[in-house]
Chains A and B, each alone.
Chain A
Amino acid sequence: MKNNNDIVIIDYQLGNLFSVKHACVKVGLNPIITSDKKDILKASILILPGVGAFGDAMENLKRLDLVSPLKDKVKMGIPLFGICLGLQLLFEESEEHGTNKGLGLIPGTVKKIPFSIENRKIKVPNTGWNTIYNKNVSEWNNSPLNSLDQNSYMYFVHSYYAKPANANDILTLTNYDGLEYCSSIKKDNICAFQFHPEKSGKNGLEIYNNIKIAFQ
C-alpha cells in the first residue's frame, strides 16, 4: 500500500486545489497538498495545478524555493503532471504581463489568445468545453488519455496558450473557434494539460484513474 506522501499536489497559492485533491481521492489516490519542498523531494508523483497569472506563479514558486526541487525531481524521472497554468509554467517564457521566464522544462513559449481570427471576434478567456484530438494514435495510447476516445470533451478556462517548439512534445490539439493550439503535452515523464481534468466530468476522472493505474 502506497503511503500518503507519495502523491504531492504542489501548493504555490494559486488555484483550486480542493477539486484536484478530490478528483484524486475519487479514483482512490491519496494525495497531500503542500508548499514544503521537503515533501516535494519525497514525492513519487508531482501534480502542478494552477489558475492565475504566470508572473505571480513563478514568483511564488521562487519565494517558496520550489523551483530547484521540482526540476531535480523531473530530472530524476519522477512523473510530473501539470494542469492549466501548471502546463504553461513548464515552458521557457510567457508573454503574459510582459515577458516572464518559466521553468524551461519544455522548449517553447506561451502566447496570448488573439481577440480576433480571420476578422472574426473571439471571446477571451476561452471558457468552456472543447474536444481534444491527436492523429498519432500511439502517442495517445501511451498517455493517461489511453482509455478515452478521440475528440473527447474537456473543460478549458484560459487566456494564454502554449506553443511547444517541438511538435513531438504535443500530445493533443484543440480548435477554439478557428485557433488550433496545443491542449496537452507529453515529454518523457512530464505530462500536462491545458484543460482541467478535475473539472471535466467523467472524462476527466478517467485521466486521473489512468494516472493511478500507471502508478500502481
Chain B
Amino acid sequence: MTNVITENDIWEGLEQGTEALLDEWLVEDGADVEIGQPIALIVVVKANHEIMAPKKGAIKILVAGQDSFTKDQPLAEIV
C-alpha cells in the first residue's frame, strides 16, 4: 500500500498548521490508476497543483473533495 502525499516544496514559506484545499478528485474512489496519472487537483494558497498517482493500483480516497488537509497528510492510499 502506498500513500499519496504532497511534495514538501509546495509548502515552502507557509506557516506551520496552514492547510491546503483538495479542490477536485479526477478519479472515483476505488478506481484503478496508473503511475503518473493525474488523480487530483489541489490549491495551496493561490497556486494550483496536479497530483499524480505514484503507483499503479486501486485508489482509496482519504481526503474528500472540498476538504482541507495539512502537509504530510495522506490524501489517498493506493493498494
**Physical interaction between A and B:** no
Interface residues of A (CB under 8 A from B): none
